[in-house]
Structure 1
């Protein structure tokens, strides 16, 4: 069954993969490259885990946290001057948080339908 929760999880997988491989086409530093690879992989893995185990609602919160970390990463990891990498982190970070919010149990009723 494909619903909005499954769509949010699929979006997270796609976004995570794109973030992880984005240093191949964006200007980057070593810090930004590893930050984007690690956070992208974590976002993708969180989406995959949610697709495999929808009852694990804690993963929605983890996905949201990874989105926030991706959003603040340009400032924390000091790559805000690398325009492409910084904007990519900000945009995908916001979209990841929105996908996590859309998949949260309060929004979808997943907690009540999971067995």
Structure 2
């Protein structure tokens, strides 16, 4: 039985993480680098979450989650905003949660890609 679209919790989690990350500059102190990093990565994570929801057999979208999560996690150090604790912690927590959501969805996405879904728990 194939997985239905718009049902996998991991992809909903990625979508929510992305939206919250993109909106976080409203409530955390930022500089230009932090502002644009949080907005751009948030939008990209939300879009990849929507992609995964719409196409549950797309394994590539889960790897995109993993890559975006790692890049977001590293961004405070690479882009020099680790001293801005609110923005940095947002990037670190959202990055880790994005990686976890992507990794958790990989088995289901792989099964769907191969033509059969694994049973939901």
TM-score (norm 2): 0.85
2:47 matches 1:35: no
Deviations 1:26-61, CA, capped at 9 Å, x for gaps: 000011000110000000000001111112110100
Count of residues in Structure 1 that have an aligned counterpart in Structure 2: 112
Going from structure 1 to structure 2, the CA distance change for 1:36 and 1:26 (only over 3 Å counts) comes to: same
- Which residue of 2 is the match for residue 10 of structure 1? 12
2:99 matches 1:97: yes
Deviations 1:79-100, CA, capped at 9 Å, x for gaps: 0000011011101110110000
1:60-79 matched pairs, under 5 angstroms:
60-79=62-81
Q: Is the 8 A contact 1:57 1:104 kept in 2?
A: yes
Q: Which of the two has higher C-alpha Rg?
A: 2
Instruction: Please identify runs of 4+ aligned residues in structure 1 that moved more than 4 A.
Output: none
Residue 106 of structure 1: how far off its partner (Å): 6.9
- Structure whose residues are more often helix by fraction: 1
Counterparts of 1:54 and 1:68 in 2: how far apart (Å)? 22
Q: Is the 8 A contact 1:46 1:62 kept in 2?
A: yes
- Which residue of 1 is the match for residue 82 of structure 2? 80
Residue 108 of structure 1: how far off its partner (Å): 6.5
Counterparts of 2:27 and 2:65 in 1: how far apart (Å)? 24
TM-score (norm 1): 0.90
